[in-house]
Amino acid sequence: MSGGAWPTAILPRMSTSGVARNTGLAFLTQIVTAAFTAGLTIFLVRRLGPDEYGLFSLALGIAGLLFGRSGAGDLFGGVRDVISGSSDPVTIQLTAADDFDPFGDDRESADDVGAAIDGDPATAWTTESYDNRDITVLKPGVGLVLSADQVAQLHELILTSPTNDWSASFYVAETNPGSFDAWGEPVATLEGIEAGTVTVDLGGTEGGAVLIWITNQGDGSGGDEVTIAEARLTGVPE
């Protein structure tokens, strides 16, 4: 074996081991931080009574501001989240879908509503066909009501649809109120929605039901209609 071959043969391996070591250190740091966070949280939850919680929460808030996005800031934020019960949004299970055509015949492809929440992208709910893609020429709109298994701070409604260039407003209520007026004001309105996946920001609005109120059917296939293959909801449970 000639000595001249060593540097090129060894360098890549050393480099790889360096990366592995750094990854291992980062992982170890995360484990230690997580363990420390868990221990501190348990200690604080046991020690602090309800009266002290407010002061402690304020202190954590100030500390979080001071530390910003540093590791210490993340640590304080994590402890505060655990104690206050807040956390990242999770999937909120949809348990029912109902067609909604209060200004028409009270039916809107009622037999297919379940297909919008069955977890199968190959099945879908589709509005009825209308002569004009702008439904508001005929009536205020048609809709689909999605009901969840709980009330939550709703984060996002994620829709999958093959329809292009459609428009809708999105309403939130605690439960399906039945009448259109009872939904109040829309939380979001989107126009010119492109085919594919659209994420509707529900802004943390508290609720357990969402109305997709379709006002323009875009250029849906097979005539003017909007197809919704799948709907998914995320939020922070209460």
Binder among 105, 111, 181, 185 for Ca ion (CB under 5 A): 105
Counting contacts by CB under 5 A, is residue 224 touching Ca ion? no
Of the two residues 17 and 129, which places its CB atom closer to Ca ion in the complex? 129
Shortest distance, CB of residue 166 to Ca ion, whole angstroms?
Answer: 17
CA distances to 1, 140, 165, 216 from 190, in Å: 69, 15, 10, 10
By CB under 5 A, tell whether 114 contacts Ca ion.
no
Q: Which stretch binds Ca ion (CB under 5 A): 3-11, 24-32, 125-133, 203-211?
A: 125-133
Nearer of residues 105 and 185 to Ca ion, judged by Cβ: 105
Examine residue 174 and tell whether it contacts Ca ion (CB under 5 A): no
Stretch that binds Ca ion, among 25-33, 75-83, 104-112, 198-206 (CB under 5 A): 104-112
Q: Which of 24, 54, 91, 120 binds Ca ion (CB under 5 A)?
A: 120
Of 104, 140, 162, 186, the residue at the interface with Ca ion (CB under 5 A) is 104
In this chain, which stretch among 1-9, 177-185, 189-197, 230-238 interacts with Ca ion, using CB under 5 A?
230-238
Q: According to the binding rule CB under 5 A, does residue 234 interact with Ca ion?
A: no
Give me the count of residues in the chain. 238
Q: Which two tokens stand for residue 73?
A: 């800031």
The yes or no reply on residue 113 touching Ca ion (CB under 5 A) is: no
- Angle among Cα 115, 132, 213 to the nearest 5 degrees reads 45
Give the binding site for Ca ion (CB under 5 A): 101, 104-105, 108, 115, 118, 120, 123, 128, 229-230
